[in-house]
Amino acid sequence: MGNAIKVKGFRIAGTHCGLKPEGKPDIALLVSDRPCRAAGVFTVNKVKAAPVLYDQAILAQPDAQVRAVITNTGTANACTGDEGLANTRRSAELVAAAVGCQPDEVLALSTGVIGMHLPMDRIAQGITDLAGKLDTENGTEGWADAAAAIKTTDTRPKFASVQTPDGYTITGIAKGSGMIAPHMATMLSVIATDADVPGDLLARALSAAADGSFNRITVDGDMSTNDTVLLLANGASGVTVANDVAFAAFTTALSNVCVELAQAIVRDGEGATKFVTVHVTGAADKNAAKTIAHEIANSPLVKTAFYGGDPNWGRIFMAAGHAGVEFDPARLALWLLNADGSPAIQLVAGGCPLNYNEPAAIALMQTPEWGFRLDLGQGDAATWVWTCDMSHDYVTINGHYRT
């Protein structure tokens, strides 16, 4: 990833407040110097964390305006009842007092262990420290610090930026490594732009961008209680997204940022050694393609074969077959793809194996990035999903997540 690009009118910082051991950064704050229009997309898990419920309620208000986003690690503040909601509100109140806005202009994100309450004394100290850092830091260092502060099992910070020819900037940070599955892909992300975007268009752009990025990634098939992507627009660039052409350009730029962040999450998947694109084509409809692609991408047997570099294509067929979608196995075809998506080796035609070069297939699957295409021979619908392999390290990381 390149350097984050500063967004006009926004200040951001990350610091350590004792939520993580050994002085690691663990809390971050983004503040706009002026009110922002805001949009969000959230987990569809029936078990939603307190900050998800809090943010959804704020953004549901007509003409909601946002000035700040506070993000903590260490505890997800999920399954914490009324006390969890009260602690989220208290965090917003503390931020509001520190930066000079109203509590209902502050959104909150949390990530970490489910079932633990926020340690409010540490949160309060962190907010005080962050407010001081906002006044002293310039340039892009704050974005890097904040990206580092929101990590959990991530091995590296994730940020992306686009500076558009129209004169505005979009910069975002994200965290995510495990418990990743659409809808939404398990993660947190905060994206800021200095474009002036009407609220309805902002929500439409974020929904479209998320559908082509965060909702197309999976690491392990498990959906979090905290998934949130927030988009804030403060208009400080003076550029207004006012017509269809400008909206299309804005959506494309936003999508580019979201794709970079989403792919970074998969590449940093817990224990991952390979980035794999799953293409499903020839489906009867889009939903059928999507269902089969996700079933394959989430299969432990498929993902362990990816890890071993084993072209055991029968596992892909097996996973497709239990997706609950009607198709004719005798029409299936399968190709391995190069990292750029071009066909490399055809493994199956008409539902039966071809006399392909297995050593070449193994060599391709042992590289860090590749893909495959399964054609169902049913119609014209197609889709894709980004996934990764599943290694021994995934079990190690998650077997000792709290211990």
Q: Which residues are catalytic?
A: 186
286, 293 Cβ separation under 8 angstroms = no
Token pair belonging to 193: 């732009």
- Whether the CB-CB separation of 77 and 110 falls below 8 Å is answered with yes
* Partners of 231 in beta bridges: 39, 191
> In whole angstroms, what is the distance from residue 150 CA to residue 174 CA?
8
Residue tagged 């989403």 (tokens): 262
Phi, psi of 240 (to 5 degrees): -105, 135
Query: What's the length of the chain?
Result: 403
Exposure pattern of 204-214 as b/e (b: 16+ CB <10 Å)?
Answer: ebbeebbeebb
Cis peptide before 120 (omega within 30 of 0): no
Rg (the chain; Cα; Å): 22
H or E element: which one contains 280? strand 275-283
How far apart are the C-alpha atoms of 97 and 105, rounded to whole Å? 11
Q: How far apart are the first and last CA of the chain?
A: 32
DSSP secondary structure string for all residues of 217-257: B-SSSPPPS--EEEEEE--TT--B--SHHHHHHHHHHHHHH
Tokens 């998320």 — which residue? Answer: 210
**Residue appearing with tokens 């991408």:** 297
